[in-house]
Amino acid sequence: MQALLEVILPVFLVIGFGYLAVWRGWFSTEGVEALMKFTQNFAIPVLLFMAIATLDLGQHFDARLLLSYYTGATAGFLLGLFGARLIFGRPWEDSVAIGFLGLFSNAVLLGLPITERAYGEAALAGNYAIIALNAPWCYGLGMTVMEIVRNRGGRPRDMAARVLRAMFRNALLIGIAAGFFVNLTGLPLPGIVWDAAGLVSRAALPAALFGLGGVLVAYRPEGDLRIVLYMTVVALAVTPAIVWSMGKATGLPTEAFRSAVLTSTMAPGVNGYVFANMYGVGKRVAATTVLIATAISILTIWLWLLVLP
């Protein structure tokens, strides 16, 4: 119970305050959209840039960590994709968008603050190693599969060009790539640049959590609740169980094991809805799953914290 009160609830109280502010009309939906654009396109990319630029790549890019996490994430995607198609009879395009919900957990907005509150700032290195590949892997896989099912019989070269074009317009990927460039080249940046970046990055998570709450106001619980509950179970229970099993099988060290499992327990992020909206398919299921899974994750994250070493 102490973990619930001290680690999880403060994060969800910020989300709840954002929800309440927009629901009661104290903060406009236009303001939330602007706030989320600031966090997604500027503040969080700067946060990721600073984290990757200063990360000890040799120490924290453990192959066992990445294998454990991304095996679980990819399994979540496949369970969502084929479950939506074979169990619920959804079109292939819808199924890809629904599968994306099992692939892209809310690793930044929820994973970072909850891991930090549970285990301290030093425990975030494993989270950043995961996040560094999260957007490239998840968007790359999701877009590639979507382009395959949408362009059956099309030229592979055209499909690859569309995927790469979309990925390299993503602000998160640009921030991550810039961080890798500075880290690998040792490019010296003036202290004033680091100070300015630090000011922006410190605003990223609290502003994004507040904005996430405001965004959830627009997500009405509608659509096929059976598939929503199916994806909620996949995201909050099945995927973390797979990551746990892989981490144990590969002998993942305790700190990295915590980062991998805890990141995988997070609810599907707003990116799940963004992906569905990008292609205009599965939007109601995506929105409802993000809303319901985020609410239920208050309990499931607590349960995972209880069993983590």
Using the structure block, give the residue that is written with the tokens 């300015």. Answer: 196
SS3 content of the chain, % helix, strand, coil (to 5): 85, 0, 15
Domain count, the chain: 1
Residue 82's pLDDT band (boundaries 50, 70, 90)? very high
**CB burial class (10 A; 0-12, 13-18, 19+) of residue 123?**
middle
CB 107 within 8 A of CB 269: yes
Summarize pLDDT for 232-265 with one digit per residue, the tens: 999 999 999 999 999 999 999 999 999 999 999 9
Q: What pLDDT sits at residue 221?
A: 64
Whether residue 111 has pLDDT greater than 80? yes
pLDDT average, residue stretch 263-290: 83
Record the tokens describing residue 218, joined without a space: 């627009």
The pLDDT value recorded for residue 91 is: 92
The partner residues of 268 in beta bridges, in order of sequence, read 105
d(CA 132, CA 180): 9
Whole-prediction pTM value? 0.79
Lowest mean pLDDT among 150-159, 164-173, 279-288: 150-159
Q: Residue 70: which of 136, 148, 119, 145 has the closest Cα? A: 136
Per-residue pLDDT tens for 116-141?
Answer: 888 888 888 889 889 888 877 888 88
CATH number, residue 119: 1.20.1530.20
The whole domain housing 131 covers 2-307
> How confident is the model over 24-36, as pLDDT tens digits?
999 998 898 888 8
Choose the weakest-confidence range: 45-49, 209-213, 217-221. 217-221
Residue 207 has pLDDT above 80, yes or no: yes
The SS3 assignment for 179 reads helix
Confidence of residue 71 (pLDDT cuts 50, 70, 90): very high
Distance between CA atoms of residues 95 and 256, nearest Å: 32
pLDDT of residue 60 exceeding 70 = no
- Note the pLDDT of residue 2: 60
Please, how many CA atoms are within 13 Å of residue 154, restricted to the half-sphere of its CB? 15
Whether 3 has a pLDDT exceeding 60, the answer reads no
Query: Is the pLDDT higher at 283 or at 169?
Result: 283
Closest Cα to residue 251, out of 57, 111, 67, 120?
67
* pLDDT value of residue 88: 93
Is the separation of the CB atoms in 70 and 63 below 8 Å? no
Residue 123 token pair: 């425990």
**Per-residue pLDDT band at 202 (split at 50, 70, 90):** confident
123 secondary structure, DSSP code: G
